[in-house]
Amino acid sequence: MDTVFDDIILHPIGVIRNTTKQPFLVASATGLTMKGDLAPTIEEVRENEDKISEVIINQELTELLDGIDEYSHIKILYWAHGVPAEGRSLRKVHPMGNPEYPLVGLFSTCSPARPNPILTTVVRLIEKDGNVLQVTGLDAIDGSPVLDIKPHVREFYPEDEEDMRIPEWMERIQAQVRE
Amino acid sequence: MDTVFDDIILHPIGVIRNTTKQPFLVASATGLTMKGDLAPTIEEVRENEDKISEVIINQELTELLDGIDEYSHIKILYWAHGVPAEGRSLRKVHPMGNPEYPLVGLFSTCSPARPNPILTTVVRLIEKDGNVLQVTGLDAIDGSPVLDIKPHVREFYPEDEEDMRIPEWMERIQAQVRE
C-alpha cells in the first residue's frame, strides 16, 4: 500500500527575468519535442552559460538574502511554469525529445515536464542589489516563479569518484553541449 | 511591485523510510535549535553518510524509474515535513542553531525551515527493486514525502574553480563534519 500524503502548497518567493521567452523543450501529453533543430538548440544551451538572469525576490523577503553574496555560487529552485498540466503525467520520454536516445523513465531524465516540475540549477552569483540577484548559468525561462535559494557548497556533493556512472545517452548529451 | 503568483500544488510521489526519527535541527518561530549537544550531532551527520534509506515511489509511478539504475548517484527532492508551519516564516537564523555563527538570512543557510521547505540531496544509489530505491547519504527523516528524483551529472555543476567562495562560518561547519 502506498503512503498517501496530502497535497503540498508552495508560495513562490520571487520571479526570474531574462531574455529566454520559450523553453527549448516543449512538453505535451505524448512526450518532449525540441522547439527547433538540434544544432541551434545545443548552441543556445551553451550560450546560456554566460547569459545574465535576474532573480527578483519579493520585497518583504529581502532580509532572507542577507549574507548570500558571500557565496560565489548558489542554487536556485524554480517552477517550470511553461510545462502544460498534461506534461506532469508523462511516464517515459526520449531525452531531449530525440528519438535516437532510448525511451527512459521520466526520473532518469532532466525533462522539465515531470510530476512535480521543480527545477534546480547551480548558478554563479554576479551581484546582489537589494532584493535582486544577477546570476549567470540559469536555464530558466522568463517569468518562472522562484521557490527557494540555497548555498552551493562543493562538499555537499560526492567526490568525482571513478565509480560515478551515468547512462551512455547522457554522456552523449554532455559531450554535445560541452565539446 | 512584486509579481504575484498563485500558490503551487505538489503531489508527493513517494515516501522516505529510514531509522532517523527526529531532525537534528528543530525549528520554531524564533529560530533553530540543535536537538542535542554539538559533538553527538556532528557524529550523527557523519554517520548518515553510510546509512541506508529506502525511497519508496508510489506504485503507479514505478515506470518513471526505468533506467535510473544506470546512475551511480541521483538527486532526491523531498519535503521537510518535520518543519512546523511557523518555521516557514523564519527570516534570519544562526546556522546549525549555533549562536557562535553569525545571524544570517535564511537563504544563505541550509536550514530545513525555510519559506518552501524543499530539500535536495545527492545520494548514492545502491539498489533498485521495483518501486523501491536503496540509497546512502540521504539526510532526511523517516516519513518524509518525496517530491522528485533527478539524475546526478557532474557536468551540471561548476568546476572546482579557485574563485569558488563560501562564508567563513560555512567553512567551519564543513571542517567539523568532514574532519
> A67 vs B157: CB contact, 8 Å cut-off?
no
Task: For residue B43, name the pLDDT band (cuts at 50, 70, 90).
Answer: confident
For the domain covering B14-154, report its CATH number: 2.40.30.70
What is the average per-residue pLDDT within B144-154?
97
Handedness of CA A152, A158, A163, A168 (dihedral sign): negative
Candidates B19, B31, B44; CA nearest to B96 is B31
More confident residue, B85 or A179: B85
Q: What pLDDT is attached to residue A142?
A: 96
Rounded-to-integer distance, Cα A41 and Cα A48, Å: 10
Neighbouring-strand partners of residue B97: none
Q: What pLDDT is attached to residue B26?
A: 82
Mutation pick from A1, A15, A49, A64 vs chain B, by most beta carbons of B within 10 Å, is A64
The tens-digit pLDDT sequence of chain A (179 residues) is: 678 788 999 999 999 999 998 887 888 888 888 877 777 777 877 777 889 999 999 999 999 999 999 999 999 999 999 999 999 999 999 999 999 999 999 999 999 999 999 999 999 999 999 999 999 999 999 999 999 999 999 989 988 777 899 999 999 999 988 77
More confident residue, B45 or B69: B69
The least confident of A8-17, A140-149, B46-55, B96-105 is B46-55
| pLDDT(B69) > 70 | yes
Task: For residue B47, name the pLDDT band (cuts at 50, 70, 90).
Answer: confident
Q: What pLDDT is attached to residue B162?
A: 74
Q: A158-168 in b/e burial notation, b at 16+ Cβ within 10 A?
A: eeeeeeeebbe
Q: What pLDDT is attached to residue B25?
A: 82
C-alpha cell of residue A31: 512526450
Q: Are B91 and A128 contacting, i.e. CB atoms less than 8 angstroms apart?
A: no
Q: What pLDDT is attached to residue B29?
A: 81
Is the CB of B28 inside 8 Å of chain A's CB atoms? no
A14-153+166-178 to CATH, choices 2.40.30.70, 3.40.640.10, 2.60.320.10, 3.40.50.11540? 2.40.30.70
What residue spans define the domains of chain B?
14-154
DSSP state of A131: T
CA distance B87 to chain A (A): 13
What is the average per-residue pLDDT within B103-127?
97
Share of chain B above pLDDT 90, in %: 69
Q: Hey, which residues 46-75 in chain B have their CB within 8 Å of chain A?
A: 56-61, 63-68, 70-75
Candidates A154, A152, A133, A157; CA nearest to A71 is A152
Neighbouring-strand partners of residue A15: A56, A145
Which residue's C-alpha cell is 564543513? Answer: B174
User: Whole-model pTM?
Assistant: 0.95
Alpha carbon separation from B147 to A78, B78, B85 (Å, rounded): 14, 5, 19
DSSP state of B4: P
> B58 vs A149: CB contact, 8 Å cut-off?
no
Mutation pick from B3, B16, B144, B174 vs chain A, by most beta carbons of A within 10 Å, is B3
More confident residue, B74 or B3: B74
Q: What pLDDT is attached to residue B13?
A: 97
| pLDDT(B1) > 90 | no
